[in-house]
Amino acid sequence: MNDQAIFQRLLALVEQYYARRKEGKFLEYMEPQALAEVLDLERQAPGDWQQLFDWMEKYLTHSVKTGNSGFLNRMWSGANLPSIMGEIITAVTNTSACTYEAAPVSTLMEHYMLNSMLELVGFEQGEGQMTTGSSNGNMIAMLAARNQVAENIKEKGLVNHPPLVAFVSADAHYSLDKAANILGLGTDNLIKVPVDERGRMRPDSLEQLLQEQQELERQPFFVCATLGTTVRGAYDPLPALLELRNKYGFWLHGDGAWGGAALLDDELRQRYLPGVEQLDSFTWDFHKMPGSNLMCNLLLFNHHKGTLRCACSAGEHSYLFREEHEDAELDTGTASLQCGRRVDSLKWFLDWKYFGKEGLGKRVRHYLELCEYAESRIQSLPRLEMTAFRESFNVCFRFLPPPNHNANDFNLKLRHRLFEEGVTLVGVAFIGEILTLRLLITHPDFSQKDVDSFLQSVIDMGERLLNE
Ligand SMILES: *Cc1c(COP(=O)(O)O)cnc(C)c1O
């Protein structure tokens, strides 16, 4: 096959997959052993284009169709078409976004987008970078805060300092625990602040813990406010946390991986993110509600330029970064923990230009309206019940089996059966002792009818299980 024939066939395959992603089940489930046999992974194929296409077709056939309305498990689904176009171009051009020299267009697009986001959030003298995801964004924010505790921590390490302690809510994302491990704090020194009955960090508890730690001669340096928790969708109360920040002088970071999307609509911003422009740093995933391809993350600092670079750079790197060049200042690599950096800016730029704040804001409002609708339906259906107050974009609920059943076991089984039969893949999590199903809506064209049929499929499966 020549290149032209290969591209024709490839693009036809892509087009066909995309056109049919909503049809049928989201997955024809196969056990790993059976799937391995179908894939024939040991097979040799030197120079055999036909065989490569065979594997690609199998890949498409047996993958989870994340663009299908049955796929509700994660904080993302499908992807925006402009973003998909960007990813194809990114693959065919294949460069590393670390220097202007090697990635001129991507570099300018990344700066342009980060500046647009600094403006959107309201950070005035800030800077930013795209990272590999909010897990990484959270860690880099903690790293920068750690290095600001004292002049020489970057060079001398933590040995000469009183133990550093950081704080998150009990419902925060696990990436903060990982950051505490990686940065040498120790996971025990990431203190979990109790949450209120809706899953929001309690500022009174935080203040008490801050004082306790100070009395123990430990140094509180970093608090992460979760802005849209992963399970319940709760927003930690920024105004109260900002007040504590001003009193105790820690670095206040906002993990908006999921809930940062509220910035896209002015009313939602006021409701969920009051004071966000005063944070020290903020991270947000555009690959979640806004729908860009994975991974698409931004990390913003509300500090003078150079803080990020100072936190991340180390070692002799003159083979790569030529500081005598006029355009060296534009190089994104020196402010990053990576050496090679995948180009994530093109897809993001295309999405932003095509949909804009208004288009994406509308989408986010639509998601919220559907969540309100789902909640009201669940409350009116006797077989279902809400398991948590709905703060924002997360609908936590469960099937209510008769009292002679263990509700947790029952719902877990129910969820697994829905998956195996390819009906729907819905999230589960624990809230305290209660196992909850978690509906997240991130399909732009999801409708009330889709909500109804999803809830009905949960009820039907639950009733079937009761009759078995
Ligand atoms: C999804 C999520 C993360 C992790 O983001 P990645 O981009 O997957 O690393 C962090 N925090 C919260 C609150 C999240 O919902």
Per-residue pLDDT tens digits for 371-415: 999 999 999 999 999 999 999 999 999 999 999 999 999 999 999
H or E element that contains 169: strand 164-169
Please tell me the residue having the least CA distance from ligand 1 atom 1. Answer: 257
pLDDT digits (tens, 9 = 90+) for 126-150: 999 999 999 999 999 999 999 998 8
**pLDDT reported for residue 334:** 86
| Cβ of 230 below 6 Å from ligand 1 | yes
**pLDDT reported for residue 328:** 77
Ligand 1 mean position, distance from CA 390 (Å): 19
Average pLDDT of the chain, as a whole number: 95
Ligand 1 mean position, distance from CA 230 (Å): 7
pLDDT digits (tens, 9 = 90+) for 409-424: 999 999 999 999 989 9
CATH number of 88-352: 3.40.640.10
φ, ψ (nearest 5 deg) of residue 284 = -155, 135
Q: Which residue has the higher pLDDT, 313 or 434?
A: 434
pLDDT (average), residues 320-348: 87
- How many other CB atoms are there within 10 angstroms of residue 378's CB atom? 22
Here the tokens at position 229 are 């928790």
**pLDDT reported for residue 184:** 94
pLDDT digits (tens, 9 = 90+) for 39-68: 999 999 999 999 999 999 999 999 999 999
| Cβ of 100 below 6 Å from ligand 1 | no
The one-letter amino acid code at 85 reads M
pLDDT digits (tens, 9 = 90+) for 269-282: 999 999 999 999 99
Nearest atom in ligand 1 to the alpha carbon of residue 256 is: 13
**pLDDT reported for residue 44:** 97
Ligand 1 mean position, distance from CA 101 (Å): 32
- 222 by Cβ neighbours in 10 Å (0-12 / 13-18 / 19+) ranks as buried
Nearest atom in ligand 1 to the alpha carbon of residue 229 is: 13
In angstroms, the Cα distances linking 248 to 10, 52, 181, 210, 398 are 58, 59, 24, 8, 41
Contacts for 25 with CB less than 8 Å, ≥ 6 apart: 65, 68, 70, 422, 423
Report the alpha-carbon distance of residue 357 to residue 363 in Å, rounded: 10
pLDDT (average), residues 311-332: 80
Report the alpha-carbon distance of residue 333 to residue 316 in Å, rounded: 13
Residue 292 pLDDT exceeds 80:
yes
| Cβ of 133 below 6 Å from ligand 1 | yes
Residue 322 pLDDT exceeds 80:
no
Ligand 1 mean position, distance from CA 256 (Å): 8
Here the tokens at position 106 are 């991507």
Question: Any idea which residue has 């944070």 for tokens?
Answer: 279
- 383 by Cβ neighbours in 10 Å (0-12 / 13-18 / 19+) ranks as middle
pLDDT digits (tens, 9 = 90+) for 162-212: 999 999 999 999 999 999 999 999 999 999 999 999 999 999 999 999 999
| pTM, entire model | 0.96
Ligand 1 mean position, distance from CA 228 (Å): 10
**pLDDT reported for residue 319:** 75
Residue 313 pLDDT exceeds 90:
no
**pLDDT reported for residue 135:** 98
Nearest atom in ligand 1 to the alpha carbon of residue 75 is: 1
Ligand 1 mean position, distance from CA 257 (Å): 5
For the stretch 175-185, what's the b/e string if a residue is b when 16 or more beta carbons lie within 10 angstroms of its beta carbon? bbbbbbeebeb
Here the tokens at position 45 are 């194929």
Half-sphere exposure of 337 (CA within 13 A, CB side): 15
**pLDDT reported for residue 160:** 85
**pLDDT reported for residue 393:** 98
pLDDT digits (tens, 9 = 90+) for 199-235: 999 999 999 999 999 999 999 999 999 999 999 999 9
Please tell me the residue having the least CA distance from ligand 1 atom 7. Answer: 133
Report the alpha-carbon distance of residue 161 to residue 196 in Å, rounded: 33
Ligand 1 mean position, distance from CA 417 (Å): 27
| Cβ of 265 below 6 Å from ligand 1 | no
